[in-house]
Amino acid sequence: MEIKYGLISCDSHAQPHKNAFLDRMSKDKWGDKIPQLKETSDKAHMAVPYDRTVERWFVNGELVGNRGVVNCPTVMDDPMRKYFPQTWDEVPAIVYDPAERLKALDSDGVDAEVLFPNDPVQSGTMIQGEDAAFELDCVRAYNDAIGEWREVSDRFIPLAIIPYLSEIEVAVAEVQRAVKKGHKGITMLAEPSQTHPGLHHFNDPYWNPLWEVCQDLDIPIHWHASAGLNLKMPRWKGYTRNQEQAMGPSGGFSTSAQFMPNLLFSGVLDKYPTLKWVSAETGLGWVNYILEGCDHEWERRHLWTEGIVTRPSELFKRQLYVDFWYESAGIQLRHKIGIDNIMWESDYPHSTSTYPESWEFVKRSLAGVPQEDCDKMLYGNAMRIYNP
- pLDDT (0 to 100) of residue 77: 83
SS3 state of residue 120: coil
- Distance, CA of 84 to CA of 111 (rounded, Å): 26
- Distance, CA of 159 to CA of 146 (rounded, Å): 8
CA 126 to chain centre: 14
- pLDDT (0 to 100) of residue 241: 65
Q: What is the pLDDT of residues 253-286, one digit of tens each?
A: 667 778 899 999 999 999 999 999 999 998 998 9
- pLDDT (0 to 100) of residue 231: 64
The pTM of the full predicted model, rounded to 2 decimals, is 0.94
- pLDDT (0 to 100) of residue 238: 78
- Distance, CA of 22 to CA of 169 (rounded, Å): 26
Question: What residue type is assigned to position 165 of the chain?
Answer: L
Tell whether omega for the bond before 356 is within 30 degrees of 0, i.e. cis: yes
CA torsion sign, 235 to 237 to 239 to 243? positive
**Strand-by-strand arrangement of the 62-63 sheet:** 36-40, 54-59, 62-63
Low-confidence ranges of the chain (pLDDT < 70): 79-81, 230-234, 239, 241-254
Tell which residue, 86, 77, 16, has the closest CA to residue 47: 86
Residue-level length of the chain: 388
- pLDDT (0 to 100) of residue 177: 98
- Distance, CA of 30 to CA of 58 (rounded, Å): 13
294 to 144, 264, 270, 287, 314: CA distances (angstroms)? 39, 8, 15, 11, 11
- Distance, CA of 256 to CA of 190 (rounded, Å): 9
- Distance, CA of 342 to CA of 111 (rounded, Å): 17
- pLDDT (0 to 100) of residue 243: 66
The answer regarding whether domain 8-18+92-386 maps to CATH 1.10.3720.10 reads no
- pLDDT (0 to 100) of residue 265: 95
Q: How would you classify the pairing of strands 156-158 and 320-324?
A: unpaired
Q: Where along the chain do its domains lie? A: 8-18+92-386
Q: What is the pLDDT of residues 290-312, one digit of tens each?
A: 999 999 999 999 999 999 999 99
- The helix (H) or strand (E) run that includes residue 158 is strand 156-158
Is 205 within 8 Å of 168 (Cβ atoms)? no
